Structure 1
Amino acid sequence: MGLWWVTVQPPARRMGWLPLLLLLTQCLGVPGQRSPLNDFQVLRGTELQHLLHAVVPGPWQEDVADAEECAGRCGPLMDCRAFHYNVSSHGCQLLPWTQHSPHTRLRRSGRCDLFQKKDYVRTCIMNNGVGYRGTMATTVGGLPCQAWSHKFPNDHKYTPTLRNGLEENFCRNPDGDPGGPWCYTTDPAVRFQSCGIKSCREAACVWCNGEEYRGAVDRTESGRECQRWDLQHPHQHPFEPGKFLDQGLDDNYCRNPDGSERPWCYTTDPQIERELCDLPRCGSEAQPRQEATTVSCFRGKGEGYRGTANTTTAGVPCQRWDAQIPHQHRFTPEKYACK
């Protein structure tokens, strides 16, 4: 598997702004404005090293427009699974491995960010997992998977290629089985078996209104793809990851940085700014953790205050939360049962 680098000129320098604008206008004929970065997870300030001396990265290629352009180059390539982006020099280095590849390690870096394709690093699956390229190699019954390149003990029709991802003995879904990724097993008595990899929707549930949700769902309840939190298009917003470090604004995953009734995201549809995400709840609504509850004072921002004060600092009586008069609001007890 080869190592790729690419030099890309900024769009304006290559083709001028008018042709580019016309091209973008044509592209907008389809719903949504997805960024190629949506296919990647980012690790800020991180480099991915290969530990074998025989594999030495080449020189950095500079003059790349931005990380989106790097993603656009890496995305279609079957042997590009990640890339480094130098935030200061705008350099781009395409990589044929991820942090889960053999003989690699992550290292803190002051010069670049690491972007890895989601299909290779997510531990859950989207839809039926046809695109899953993780390293799970054991079935739901605990049986080791047979290598796809082997025909024994269980013969089969599949031939590994770069496109179908049938490498090693990793769980895959080459036939689009609705049960998700599977594999042939090393047990002659069990020809094949599902690997039981959870869908990203099922892998993490929502407690309360989901402010602590850190799952990997990147679609809204209507099926629209989420906009990345670190991008300002197609919708501008105030929730920049660097300004909300404790909100888990990773990539384009559903989150709840503003205390809404449940996790949500901005969408890639220019006509729909934001939508809620359909996520399973963790069970019956519970009260906040006891250590966070106070009645006579408050800690931090006061999320755990459960006292009986009902007058403002100016002496104005408080409106009941279950009333919409004189002021209408979204903070109803039914939607915020744990608050």
Structure 2
Amino acid sequence: MRLWWVTVQPPARRMGWFPLLLLLTQCSRVPGQRSPLNDFQVLRGTELQHLLHAVGPGPWQEHVADAEECAGRCGPLLDCRAFHYNVSSHGCQLLPWTQYSPYTQLQRSGRCDLFQKKDYVRTCVMDNGVKYRGTVAITTGGLPCQRWNHRFPNDHKYTPTLRNGLEENFCRNPDGDPGGPWCYTTDPAVRFQTCGIKSCREAACVWCNGEEYRGAVDRTESGRECQRWDLQRPHAHPFEPGKFLDKDLDDNYCRNPDGSERPWCYTTDPKVEREFCDLPRCGLEAQPRHEATTLSCFRGKGEGYRGTNVASLNVISNQECNIKHRGRIRESEMCTEGLLAPVGACEGDYGGPLACFTHDCWVLEGIIIPNRVCARPRWPAIFMRVSVFTDWIHKVMRLG
């Protein structure tokens, strides 16, 4: 920390200068602080070219610490919409356009990653869409939008600036309308109309437990912002995007890489590691289905099975399980809470499923393995954790 003397002249007093001691601090990034990369969406191994040679990007800025520093430089600038980050030379190039700008094209690159501001490339809106900077230019009624710098056929009070983003004839929400982005139309009989751009929460729904969800929601159900999957702070985790390519762990969007009950994310709150995301369910799945009850077999996915060869078990953390098993539980294993009665996994059950019912389908979470104890009262049962082997399972399925 540094102490600096500065002289300040208050606006209300013009009688002379007088010194004030201001305490100014210079701090490095603190673990748990929101990353500036959260405002960007990344395309790995990609460069963005502008096809008009007369228009050029900014110069390369060398010797930046990492992509976060580039994001910190681009983020506050109103004329910066994206940047290239050179992963080998640690260079940074600020760009005034995105992939949806005129005369641009994406191309594969062996040296660069492309980071674009979410507000410019997301096809959905967060909250009421005040920050939306996309390129939709037609209303829900199919009417073309009037350019913001035109006053005909519909006059208005707005003047386009870089700050309000009123460019060309794109849908915007300069007045914070709760209905989302809108525009003045080119029809004299219809002054303005909403553009019907979906909220990111409604743009993609969840089937089953949401392992296939690829939407753009980046907030948890409590409103906390999600931590980027490619960062290890404030919470260290095993789900590095490069190791789970089929999980599409993009940026800081809600995902379900471990087969949990529904999509979730690590949060940027150091005190809350992870939370579920509030996402709508798809179609008829939201409606409960009533299956005929069976006792000796099951139909379909087994929703109506009520036989006796099943036990209801609560999953517990490995940390809690290791208290009983003296630290012998591996990360590839999971445990269920011991029951009062002598019920649980035993000889002859090996290979049986530990399944969790999520809304309208069963999700296989664990497989019974030879246990060190057999159905002992109050003793946790051990299962092999299926999510550890999902990559291998997918490879085998693709083979035939």
Q: Flag whether TM exceeds 0.5 (same fold).
A: yes
What amino acid is the match of 2:337?
Q
The equivalent of 1:97 in structure 2 is: 97
Pairing 1:75–2:75 present: yes
Unaligned runs of 5+ in 1: 1-18, 287-304, 308-317
Pairing 1:333–2:377 present: no
Structure with more contact order per residue of length (Cα contacts < 8 Å, sep ≥ 6)? 1
What amino acid is the match of 1:40?
F
Deviations 1:112-134 (A, max 9, x none): 00000000000000000000000
> Conserved in 2, the CA contact under 8 Å of 1:209 and 1:336?
no
Partner SS state of residue 242, structure 1 = helix
Q: CA deviation at 1:34?
A: 1.2
In 1: Cα distance, 2:133 partner to 2:148 partner: 14
Q: CA deviation at 1:62?
A: 1.1
Counterpart mapping for 1:150-189 below 5 A: 150-189=150-189
Counterpart mapping for 1:283-294 below 5 A: 283-285=283-285
TM-score by length of 1: 0.80
The equivalent of 1:252 in structure 2 is: 252
Partner SS state of residue 227, structure 2 = coil
Deviations 1:127-172 (A, max 9, x none): 0000000000000110000000000000000000010000000000
Partner SS state of residue 106, structure 2 = strand
What amino acid is the match of 1:277?
C
Counterpart mapping for 1:1-339 below 5 A: 22=27, 24=29, 33-57=33-57, 59-285=59-285, 320=310, 322-324=312-314, 327-328=336-337, 331-334=355-358, 337-339=361-363
Partner SS state of residue 170, structure 1 = coil
What amino acid is the match of 2:64?
V
In 2: Cα distance, 1:73 partner to 1:110 partner: 23
Judged with a 3 Å threshold, the aligned counterparts in structure 2 of structure 1 residues 321 and 113 are, in CA distance, closer, same or farther, namely farther
> Conserved in 2, the CA contact under 8 Å of 1:146 and 1:169?
yes
What amino acid is the match of 2:69?
E
> Conserved in 2, the CA contact under 8 Å of 1:285 and 1:338?
no
> Conserved in 1, the CA contact under 8 Å of 2:52 and 2:103?
yes
In 1: Cα distance, 2:251 partner to 2:164 partner: 26
Q: CA deviation at 1:56?
A: 3.1
In 1: Cα distance, 2:224 partner to 2:309 partner: 36
> Conserved in 2, the CA contact under 8 Å of 1:217 and 1:254?
yes
What amino acid is the match of 1:159?
T
Q: CA deviation at 1:180?
A: 0.1
What amino acid is the match of 1:96?
P
In 1: Cα distance, 2:236 partner to 2:191 partner: 52
Unaligned runs of 5+ in 2: 1-24, 287-299, 303-307, 316-334, 339-353, 364-400
> Conserved in 1, the CA contact under 8 Å of 2:57 and 2:94?
no
In 2: Cα distance, 1:154 partner to 1:336 partner: 51
What amino acid is the match of 1:256?
N
In 2: Cα distance, 1:160 partner to 1:59 partner: 27
Larger Rg: 2
What amino acid is the match of 1:265?
C
What amino acid is the match of 1:97?
W
In 2: Cα distance, 1:157 partner to 1:208 partner: 48
Partner SS state of residue 283, structure 2 = coil
In 1: Cα distance, 2:301 partner to 2:190 partner: 57
What amino acid is the match of 1:145?
C
**Runs of 4 or more consecutive aligned structure 1 residues displaced over 2 Å after TM superposition:** 22-25, 56-61, 283-286, 318-339
Between the aligned residues of both structures, percent identity stands at 80
Judged with a 3 Å threshold, the aligned counterparts in structure 2 of structure 1 residues 103 and 75 are, in CA distance, closer, same or farther, namely same
Judged with a 3 Å threshold, the aligned counterparts in structure 2 of structure 1 residues 324 and 54 are, in CA distance, closer, same or farther, namely closer
RMSD, aligned CA: 2.4
The equivalent of 2:398 in structure 1 is: none
Higher strand share goes to which structure? 2
> Conserved in 2, the CA contact under 8 Å of 1:321 and 1:331?
no
The equivalent of 2:396 in structure 1 is: none
Judged with a 3 Å threshold, the aligned counterparts in structure 2 of structure 1 residues 249 and 321 are, in CA distance, closer, same or farther, namely farther
> Conserved in 2, the CA contact under 8 Å of 1:321 and 1:333?
no
TM-score by length of 2: 0.68
In 2: Cα distance, 1:323 partner to 1:58 partner: 59
